[in-house]
Structure 1
Amino acid sequence: MKRLIATALLIAPLAGCGLHPLYGGGAGGGVATTLSGVEVAPIEGQAGWLRGNALRDRLAASGTPRYRLDVKLDDQIAGLGVRRDDSVTRERRTLRARYQLVDLADGAVLLDATAGSDAGIDVIVSSEYATIAAENTALENLSGIVADQIVAKLALYARRRQPTR
């Protein structure tokens, strides 16, 4: 009995804390329907193709789009570790995105933000193929991470636009 009372006392303050589920209402909720109405504009380059696919997978657009997501990428690789003979032993791949959510009805920019991540890559001096494969794998992983950041920001934006209950 004491345990039940203690649990009730601990849970009671949470009832008025103002936390609400982001995807409340499931697939028919406001956030999910807003995200499904976002069309991803074509993005240039291999990184753009990977990012666009990652975004389309996460947004699951359906029906007539109400919004367009414009994304501009900055993909850079910089050498970090350098040996005495000036050969690079470690690289850092940085993927940044500036994105805008545009309302298709009037062309207004509703959200203008950035997202980004980076990854370290070991450079194998004896195998150029292994280095290229590691750089491509890093790009794929970074594309997924940045796509998750963008979708999370879009979901928060959609949640804030919903009327409070």
Structure 2
Amino acid sequence: MKPQTLTAELLELDALNAQRLIAPLCELLQDAVHGGASVGFHAPLDTERAQAFWEAVIDALAAGERRLWVILVGGQVAGSVQLEPCTKENGRQRGDIMKLLVHRQWRRRGFARALMEHAQNEARAMGLRTLVLDTEVGSAAEAVYQALGWQRVGEIPDYADLPDGSPVATAYYYLTLKALA
């Protein structure tokens, strides 16, 4: 018998589809926190807090304030990334990349890069010229961002806590998007 081949599918979720996938989205966030990622939560992250986070994201999706892409593998959410365009009158040319998450089971397969490249292309198509993000100093994500051409601006010490409560610095990055040809 041949081993089953799983296909990865990258797709955008609207509010309705994000609500349908809230349980696997919660599991993805919990995996990130329990794996030590500094993504806004202390460990352990219970389902109630994870669900409250995703419900706020779903509200932002429904309001048209945010976009969410996921990679699905065999029905499991293997990764996600969010883009929030700036709504300020003088900042509509930029957007924030948020919560690039890849489940530990699915890392080192190019999913983070695929999600980021897709979000960057969508941002270009939306007319955005600049993207910004922040990430934990020394995280694996820094290598991904640098490989994609993001420019490190600097870091702020003691900016956030790791899931265990210990302080960590954050690094700020930006990417200037080139117009679509």
Normalised-by-shorter TM-score class = under 0.3
TM-score by length of 2: 0.24
> Could you say which structure has the higher helix fraction?
1
Structure whose alpha-carbon radius of gyration is higher: 1
